[in-house]
Amino acid sequence: MTGASPSVMRSTVMFSFVVVADAMGRNKNFYNTLTASAFCLLLYDPYWLMSVSFQLSYLAILGIVYFQPKIAALWPIENKVGNYFWELNSVSLAAQLMTLPFTLLYFHQFPTYFWLSSLILVPLSGLELGAGLLLLILDPVWSFAASGVGWLLWAMLWLGNQSVMLIQQLPAALLDGIWIGGISALLLYLGIGSSMAAISFRRYKWVLASLAFLLAVLGSYAFAEFGHQQNRQMTIYSIYKHTAIDFFDGEKAWSLLDTTLEAKALKYAVEGNRYANGIEQVETLRLEDTAAVFTDHFFYKNGLAQFYDKRLLVLDGPLAHEAGDKIQLDFLLLRNTPKVELEDLAEQFDFELLVFDASNKRWRVDDWKAECDSLGISYYDLDVDGALVVDLED
């Protein structure tokens, strides 16, 4: 009923193993069941191993089973209501602890009020499941009662959604802009694994190993921060029907955008790269701007940008430069399928690389690429090869 996503399949297969074990009178070992279900699902589709939902689902359930009893035991509450809510919180804390490295790696953010939303959504989810099943049963035989149950189900769903929206509006509800690489995520999981070994085997060496891995993460982060200070990079993004270029200088960036590019599409394309490069300040410019922008290392006017010793010209219309000495460029970018001939470009500009962005018509880019091959012109197709990243040397 919910669709065969990897996380749902994980739950279904594990539950099936448990039911079969009960029917056969066999002992159930959770870790064997977890491993067996993952093995069966990966036999069905090995690519699920790289699925984010598959990874997070298995890590979350592993964290809940291992850490939840230990977290719950830290604060024994005799009151039944208080103990119920603390049990819910301990489940959320256990799942969040185990999925934290991948959450930071994939989404670069951390929800600070996850524990609060779980207090509302977990009890509601059980009621919603029961109401949904009751609705399926009543609908064919008693439409009046089914309408009442349907309204109640809608109300619970509305309450859950509104609660999440309200929690999102709380101060500091989301810590974003957190970037860790694959090595740091691996080190964090090694630290968590060492902590689990220390708890299970009660050996001091595992505590030291966990601390060593955490220190390695801090060292990796400090090294990355130092690298960001020295960072000089130009990135031309591949965004369908649009143009976006970032120039990184330390923790500051200048961003050249076309006027029709929406904020959502821009964020999806550039946010991860900016986080990875430690960008904290962005100055946005429009390609159509005619006023000159000049700083110590960056200049832009009328489609011509210079960043340190690299020159980039963005061309989206017929050539306006009169014949004469060639203009020296490093990159010449064509956008919006300008009506130009490559032979004319070669006569007026001396460039190292011709770049076609994703705003050009596909058939015209293919023709240009064939001409480049015949003329011996180096080119880069953003729509095929992805973003162009140029690291400037010191």
The pLDDT tens digits for 74-124 are 998 989 889 988 999 999 999 999 999 999 999 988 989 988 888 888 889
Give me the CATH number covering residue 253: 3.60.15.10
Can you give the residue range of the structural domain that contains 289?
232-391
- Claim to verify: residue 367 and residue 244 sit in the same structural domain: yes
Is residue 61 helix, strand or coil?
helix
One domain, residues 243 and 339: yes
Arithmetic mean of pLDDT, 182-199: 94
Is the pLDDT at 139 greater than 60? The verdict is yes
Tell which of 73, 107, 141 closes a domain. Answer: 107
pLDDT of residue 293: 85
Q: Give the pLDDT band (50/70/90) at residue 394.
A: low
Q: Based on the domain organization, do 165 and 272 belong to the same domain?
A: no
Residues 191 and 165 in one domain: no
Of 165, 195, 229, the residue that ends a domain is 229
Please give the DSSP secondary-structure letter assigned to residue 320.
-
The rounded percent of the chain whose pLDDT value lies above 70 is 98
Task: Tell me what the mean pLDDT of segment 293-310 comes to.
Answer: 89
DSSP per position, 154-219: HHHHHHHHHHHHHHHTSTT-EEE-----HHHHHHHHHHHHHHHHHHHH--HHHHHHHHHHHHHHHH
Give the model's confidence band at 363: pLDDT under 50 very low, under 70 low, under 90 confident, else very high: very high
Q: Which of 177, 192, 212 is the last residue of a domain?
A: 177
| pLDDT value at residue 100 | 95
Same domain (yes/no): 252, 371: yes
* Cα 311 to Cα 162: distance, rounded to the nearest angstrom: 50
pLDDT score for 172: 87
Taking alpha carbons only, the member of 38, 218, 190, 182 closest to residue 102 is: 182
Tell whether 52 and 85 lie within a shared domain: yes
State whether 130 and 165 are in the same domain: yes
Q: State residue 257's pLDDT score.
A: 93
Average pLDDT over all residues of the chain: 90
Q: Do residues 237 and 374 both lie within one domain? A: yes
Per-residue pLDDT at 322: 60
In this structure, the dihedral spanned by the alpha carbons of residues 86, 91, 93 and 95, taken in order and rounded to 10 degrees, is 180
pLDDT digits 0-9 by tens, 191-231: 999 999 999 998 999 999 999 999 999 998 888 888 888 88
Determine the average pLDDT of the residues in 248-252: 92
Judgement on whether residues 253 and 332 belong to the same structural domain of the protein:
yes
SS3 state of residue 337: coil
Whether residue 128 is found in the same domain as residue 200: no
Detail the DSSP E strand segments found in 206-318.
232-236, 244-249, 252-257, 281-286, 293-294, 298-301, 304-307, 310-315
Alpha-carbon distance of 386 to 389, in angstroms, equals 9
Does residue 348 share a domain with residue 202?
no
Say yes or no to pLDDT of 320 above 70: no
Q: How confident is the model at residue 321 (pLDDT cuts 50, 70, 90)?
A: low
- In a shared domain, residues 219 and 248: no
Distance CA 100, CA 62 (A): 13
pLDDT exceeds 70 at position 366 = yes
Overall domain count for the chain: 4
Edge-to-edge strand list for the sheet holding 293-294? 293-294, 298-301, 304-307, 310-315, 331-334, 353-356, 379-381
Q: Which two tokens stand for residue 130?
A: 């029961």
